Amino acid sequence: MLSSRALSVMSLAEFPKTLPEPPEENGLDFLENAVLKARYYNQATGLICLADDSGLCVSGLGDRPGVYSARFGGPGLSDRQRCLKLLDEAETLTDRRAFFQAALVLANGPQILVGSGRLDGLLSIKPKGTGGFGYDCLFIPLGFKRTLAELSPKTKNRISHRFKALQALEKEISQQPGFFSS
């Protein structure tokens, strides 16, 4: 989505190992964590930085795991182990509504632009599918009968919370034409 802007995009993996350790993600929500990371790496590199934070929220569990999605169940667990722990906690739920939420933040000095997206669906009763990552094998988007892990990458990318966040961010960028030159 940013390719039409003649920008060079780099990942953190392309930077020297002298970059500081990542900041602790201690925000109360996805947006706070994304802002924290975008500002942190903007300052560390002197470059415009794009950061995201996202996760799965299950209504019947008080919107958990939420901002703790990647750390759910404790350190060192694999995606599969986190999924099984979530299913164990959700075993008796009658309310299996869930949603993926994403926040994207572009930081350029004191300026930030924000985009957010949400994908509503249901928590499945068992893992299904081999595509995707994280909780994709447990999440059935509204209007579908298969989990995200069973959908083609093209379909998943077309409906995903991250795609919606990118669309919202693109709208913000178009309303701030000088963002990349400041």
- pLDDT in the model for residue 3: 60
Domain edges within the chain: 27-177
- pLDDT in the model for residue 123: 98
Instruction: List the catalytic residues.
Output: 53
- pLDDT in the model for residue 182: 64
- pLDDT in the model for residue 20: 81
CA 110 from chain center: how many Å?
23
CATH code of domain 27-177 = 3.90.950.10
- pLDDT in the model for residue 68: 95
- pLDDT in the model for residue 2: 58
pLDDT < 70 regions, the chain = 1-6, 182
- pLDDT in the model for residue 80: 94
